[in-house]
Amino acid sequence: MLQKIRNIFQSVMGPEAAIETGTTRESLRQWDSISHLNLILELEAEFDLHMVPDEIEDLSSVAKIVDLVSRRTERGS
């Protein structure tokens, strides 16, 4: 799961983006509002998800993204 998410991050933010579980919006220079929206679109497409605005706003770290995607893909929504 983390590797798939890392690949999505790097396709959106560039291959030089160092993505780890502890990476946050504040710690990654490339993670601005536009790249955040592109990231959400890619995550939704890759994992067949639909995220609501509250979820999108809360996704401020790789750990939160992994948690949300894991929970949502396990229950099939």
- CATH code of the domain containing 24: 1.10.1200.10
* Number of domain units in the chain: 1
Residues 10-69: tens digit of each pLDDT: 999 999 998 999 999 999 999 999 999 999 999 999 999 999 999 999 999 999 999 999
pLDDT value at residue 74: 81
Contact 66, 2 (CB under 8 A): yes
| Domain range enclosing 18 | 2-74
Question: Is the model's pLDDT at 76 over the cut of 90?
Answer: no
For residue 61, give the 3-state DSSP assignment. strand
The radius of gyration of the chain from alpha carbons, rounded to an integer in Å, stands at 11
Q: What values do phi and psi take at 24, rounded to 5?
A: -125, 170
Distance CA 13, CA 18 (A): 10
Q: What's the pTM value of the predicted model, to 2 decimals?
A: 0.90
